Structure 1
């Protein structure tokens, strides 16, 4: 058996290598809120995230990504792992926002802008933005604080002007195309985030996960109404539960009740089924 070497353990994913230039990206059943991992897993979550990401990668086959195989993986990781090209992850969380929510809403309420982008006055929670907007953030290591919004100029300072332009263009193009597809399924993608990697020869590849309940805000389109919280179809349900506790959002995170685990699992599976049209079989 080929020896596995653990390279990195993230909030949700573990990264192993067993061959030069390749990694195994393994999605666990761990779940985090506010950048802290809860001690209670969500059954099947890793498999759902992997299957849904792969479906989205197939929809955007014209955008180069790091996936090499989903079958050439160790048996113990079957269904929740992707064999990928090893890349240098760009140190920027690439976020596209089409609507005002979460961190973006709080930034707008404080300054009238997000990541240095000035927005019209009078917007409220869940308002649609005039156009999809690139609002990058830092990438905080696990257990070392929270991601912070940065400006496009900050991105230029981190990765250079050419790469920054590429990241912004890819982020907004992917969001725009996915938002249209999601609308046809009755889903609004409020915002989403991407990770990109750089190959040794400088090519930028789409990496990690895309358009999952972990990386995106999904709302029921038929119930969308600006000015109030939306009918969330994503992990926001779990964040909302956390807000009912007295947890201060610093480690350790609280255990999750059985009913919260079951409802979170149901929502992940429901999004997989709504987008793909397939029945979840586990």
Structure 2
């Protein structure tokens, strides 16, 4: 097989008509891959994505060909998937105000051109979930764009279809997670087109790398929340006073590694009802 792309977390190999998507244990913050892996992270991301892909298949087709027909050294962390023409937009659904969305709101009173009520604060629940797309930058940081921007790039019908799908995936996922004591504050999705022109959900879905997960019974607007996702590593990295958020990143201490791993396992077990082996 030929390695055709190595991302911050996933490596993509060409294998005949298919691709093999391999999730590593790497972790990145501020677009910098840190030198310390999180054990089991790639497997947890893959298994949680597969669980969601199965439950969301009636909303939109996904790229999964097989979760088992992969090289033995990558079993559990790899997916055989379809080749797609990827759409150069990250579709972000937000139900709560936090992260870059909060900063954008504080500057403009809106996110991606979507106006929001005044007086919102960290972790406020939005009146309704909104789509806040960003560019997909290979160099530098992603930038917020408006719905009209993406409609001009990919066509209004495609943009509208993907807005509906993104919000339905978020709302379905958030409702299920809420039954299990988890708030999904926001999530990022990626889509592509099959050779036949079908819109297909790709990459990962509703994982601790692509979403913000909070404990529902500890949710309190106006302050940071107990994060069961990558935010825990971001928060730790902000305490490293001699790092300027450029490569190389700082090594992660053992206690932060283990606490991060436990959070990824915790959200997997809460959402799926399965015990992590």
Q: TM-score range by the shorter chain?
A: over 0.9
Taking structure 1 as the reference length, the TM-score comes to 0.96
Match of 1:91 in 2: 88
Q: Distance in 2 between matches of 1:225 and 1:257?
A: 28
For 1:1-282, what aligned pairs fall within 5 Å after superposition?
A: 4-20=1-17, 22-62=18-58, 63-141=60-138, 144-246=139-241, 247-281=243-277
3-state DSSP class of the match of 2:25?
A: coil
Q: Distance in 1 between matches of 2:247 and 2:193?
A: 32
Q: What's the offset of the Cα at 1:157?
A: 2.1
More off after superposition, 109-118 vs 221-230: 221-230
Q: Distance in 2 between matches of 1:257 and 1:272?
A: 23
Provide Cα deviations, 1:2-43, integer angstroms capped at 9, x if missing partner: xx01111111000001112x1001000100011111111111
3-state DSSP class of the match of 2:185?
A: strand
Q: What's the offset of the Cα at 1:225?
A: 1.2
Whether the 8 Å contact between 1:190 and 1:217 is mirrored in structure 2 is: yes
Q: Distance in 2 between matches of 1:91 and 1:111?
A: 25
Number of equivalent positions: 275
Q: Distance in 1 between matches of 2:9 and 2:153?
A: 25
Query: Structure 2: which 5+ residue stretches go unaligned?
Result: none
Provide Cα deviations, 1:33-73, integer angstroms capped at 9, x if missing partner: 11111111111111110001001111112121010101111
Query: Structure 1: which 5+ residue stretches go unaligned?
Result: none
Q: Distance in 2 between matches of 1:112 and 1:61?
A: 35
Query: Structure 1 residue runs of 4+, over 4 Å off?
Result: none
